[in-house]
Chain A
Amino acid sequence: MKGNYDLVIIGGGPAGLAAAVAAYDSGVEDILILEREPILGGILNQCIHNGFGLTRFKESLSGPEYAARFISEVEKRSITVLTNTAVLSLDKGKLVTAMNAEEGVFTVQAKAVILAMGCRERSRGALNVAGSRAAGVYSAGTAQKYVNVFGYMPGKRVVILGSGDIGLIMARRMTLEGAKVLAVCEIMPQTSGLKRNIAQCLDDFGIPLYLNHTVTKIEGDERVTGVVVSKVDENRKPIAGTEIHFDCDTVLFSVGLIPENELTKGAGIELSRGTRGAVVTQSRETSESGVFACGNVLQVHDLVDFVSEEAEIAGVSAARYILGGEVKRDAVEVKNGKNILYVCPQLIDKSVGGKVKLFFRVTDTFKAPTVTVRCGNGAVQTKKLKVAVPGEMQSIVLSEETVRGLNGSVEVLVEVDQ
């Protein structure tokens, strides 16, 4: 086992794969990908539904098909891949400690590191749903793995809490495989998943969607036997007297994704409260120079196409860092303005050059809003949107010239014209 690589990529999912290819094609060939699962592809392997790649490949691919395109690109290049390998820690000096059955515990010294560990699902515990600890309560992604990868049914009568995309997709998958999905409950007044998933996963199968509703109690001794669903008021608190009871054997939670940044924290890298990922420049470089982050470990994306795009930025930037060395940063801060949940990247490094695409999420639903990027008192860029909802990531581009002219921090804000 070689003890040093130019570039070590932690995670062989869509982000890690695209980053590896981009870095290689930018002139860095000494690359190691560390993947904890037995095969490359990450979460795409269990996302067997179609709809991936519309932006990138102009066709509707399944998750494994999308992954396969990148895996074959990695295989064409002499990139080293270690699967079944868990990374235990990342040190400040870009020393990666990992473990697998063949090598045991080993360390790899990298010149640059790309973090591409993805995210995890929020669990029932994070919501404090009261009731029993009976079997039959799953996060939607766990159910997806059981059904799609292992071929088992987690249950037959299902209530889903949360209208995240994985929950919607699983409503359809469970229905196709013979289960009865009784309800999808969403505590907010709008769904958090994509509109098309409401149409093709719920409406197609007549699965009712309960907006402004949440699961307030889970019943059952050994296995779940039912749930109580209640309507919530404008403060998201359940309203007494609105309880609906469902007889079910399974509850799926699809209540959000959280970037998995334990290694990042261990390395002392600064994290953003908004994204729960690292604070990065537009190169996707973290507070630790030479350590980059991309994909869902950086910010939870709606679409894998954007993960690939972001990973390529990280891959190219890492290659530039390895080949050209560290360049002194000339960074301005990007702040969350009115109605903005977060913006990524959080820093614009003027020494990098080129245009900058700012991704952001809004705090609420806005019809025909205007997005403004402000620097000082003046707007440096504006964009009209048809609609903006928290469930869909938006972006706005600052031209190279605009970036060059920035003389202080910028603020992104969203307003609806009166």
Chain B
Amino acid sequence: MYDVAVIGSGVIGGLIFRKLTEYKLSVCLLEKAGDVCMGASKANSGIVHAGFDALPGTLKAKFNVEGNLMMKSVADELGVKYRENGSLVVAFCEDEVIKLKELASRGEQNGVKGIEIIGRERLKEMEPNISDEAVGALFAPTGGIICPYGLALAAIGNAMDNGGELKTDFEVVSIEKEEGGFTVKSANGECVTSRAVVNCAGLGGGKIAAMIGDEIRIGARKGEYLLLDRESGSAVNHTLFFTPTEKGKGILVSPTVDGNVILGPTAKEQADGNVLTSDEGLAFVSKKAGEMLKELPLYNTITSFAGVRAYSERHDFIIEESESVSGFFHCIGIESPGLTASPAIAKYVVEELMAGRYGWERNPSFNGRRRPDYFFKDLTAEQKNAVIAKDPSFGRTVCRCEQVTEGEILQAIRENPPARDIDGVKRRTRSGMGRCQGGFCQPYVAQLIARERGIPIEKVTKSGGKSYILMGVTK
């Protein structure tokens, strides 16, 4: 029997999983997909919010501000790229400037440091490419950017290195409360027993809650994005938001931590988790982004994608033990700023809700640092040569656009959590994420996956399931 089973391997489940391995526990992470972090954490804006947006007194406000303060050290330990680039909420008329003042005072109540309202001149200095229509902005220096799936992957990998167990392709279909714990059953008939269960199932959070009799409605909202080539990385410095109005929040325009520019998201209610992009959605994003910037290099678009965010009808995070079933914890309805809040939520759930209550002991051999905690591309020539001397595969470039080496790809396939498909390698290494979108490197990555996993190349998938990249041999 496990001490804790965590359902869902997004950034919330992942960081809770890791936090649990700081204690002497046996822990497992259950994921229905073939790889970790396949839901909302895979496809979102990657923004570390400063914390002026959430209403004071909400869990969102509390965990946003706490999470923001924790993010740098968490990213550091896990070797995840993070940059405090600062956020700007841009006003395009005097009415919007009034709204900015409201946001600023909300931010102060929430305890956000350094917020100020700036005028047109200062804004132009900070963002030379800002639209001439902009009249001012709210500047939050503590806003940042991070790779969301990078954070989840690293946390899960680190937890596994510290003894946590991962079970992918484990779609939970039933949960039975029994004497001293729970039996969690998968669609394949596999059973896991655990003393406590944490529900971090994102979009599926309501369904999981229903399995123990809790009725929590979780809605789905799709967001579509465009991503621009790193060549256009200098088009924007800070994360730019439109001033929220009655008509909605608009979209954001931001650099990503890897140097691209991200535009989006749309926000459209839908019944399911489909991540299809639409003509209207992508056109809306292009149009809004064009209003924000003087010059928007849309010709440098390298990809578009959609993600689906879960939200609860409480319009706040649901982070609590089930009222009806003791030992079952919900962490669901984690919409924006959930990524920012994730380290604080993990700390709260494990330390405040669980550890004391169960009398857990700290795990003295826990190592919070993940190996290797560097990005090969960013090393100096001497450092690279030291790595290549030990393992020549780091000297072979596979993805030319993002300069990813064979060594890094092999590492992604071998280390925790292992990449099993093309997209899995891509999320871990950035191979195929550049301007040619895998046109050159995919055949090589597919061969490495086939070799390492001992499967024929026709069995290599793009993203698990039956998403085979090839359909047989030519002759």
Contact = CB atoms under 8 A, between A and B. Distances in A.
Nearest to A99: B395
A155 B471 contact: yes
Contacts of B357: none
Interface residues of B, number: 57
A153 B392 contact: no
B474 A130 contact: no
A270 to B, nearest CB: 15
Contacts of A36: 397, 400
Contacts of B438: 142
A56 B213 CA distance: 78
A150 B385 CA distance: 31
B302 A146 contact: no
Nearest to A37: B440
A222 interface: yes
B389 A104 contact: yes
Interface stretch (A116-124, A302-310, A349-357, A362-370): A116-124
Nearest to B441: A142
> Which among B278, B439, B473 has the greatest number of chain A C-beta atoms within 10 A?
B439
A128 B395 contact: no
A141 B437 CA distance: 12
Given A86-B400, A120-B440, A130-B282, A104 B385 contact: yes
Interface string B425-447: 00000000001111110110001
B397 A99 contact: yes
A180 to B, nearest CB: 12
Contact of A121 (B278, B439, B472): B439
B465 interface: yes
Interface string A106-132: 010000000000001101111010111
A417 B273 CA distance: 59
B443 A130 contact: no
Contacts of A147: 474
Contacts of B389: 104
A223 interface: yes
A101 B395 contact: yes
A49 interface: no
Given A86-B403, A105-B388, A125-B437, A152 B473 contact: yes
Interface string B227-241: 100010000000000
B467 A223 contact: yes
B439 A141 contact: yes
B275 interface: yes
> Which among A97, A103, A120 has the greatest number of chain B C-beta atoms within 10 A?
A120
A100 interface: yes
A135 B392 contact: no
Contacts of A265: 231
B473 A153 contact: yes
A165 interface: no
Main secondary structure of the interface of A (DSSP, over half): mixed
A143 to B, nearest CB: 10
Interface string B376-416: 00000100110011001111110011010000000000000
A151 interface: yes
A262 B468 CA distance: 32
Given A147-B474, A223-B468, A125 B302 contact: yes
Interface stretch (B311-319, B327-335, B364-372, B454-462): B454-462
A99 B462 contact: no
Nearest to B280: A130
Interface in A340-354: none
A136 to B, nearest CB: 8
A25 interface: no
Nearest to B397: A86
A272 B457 CA distance: 41
A132 B276 contact: yes
B304 A152 contact: no
Interface string B289-324: 000000000010111110000000000000000000
Given A132-B276, A135-B462, A84 B396 contact: yes
A229 to B, nearest CB: 14
Interface string A140-162: 01100111011111111000000
A7 B429 CA distance: 34
18 contacts: A101-B395, A104-B385, A105-B395, A123-B437, A124-B303, A126-B299, A130-B276, A130-B277, A135-B462, A135-B468, A141-B439, A142-B442, A146-B443, A151-B475, A217-B279, A222-B461, A223-B468, A262-B401
**For the complex of A and B, 5 pairs with smallest distance between CB atoms:** A125-B303, A101-B395, A86-B397, A135-B462, A101-B392
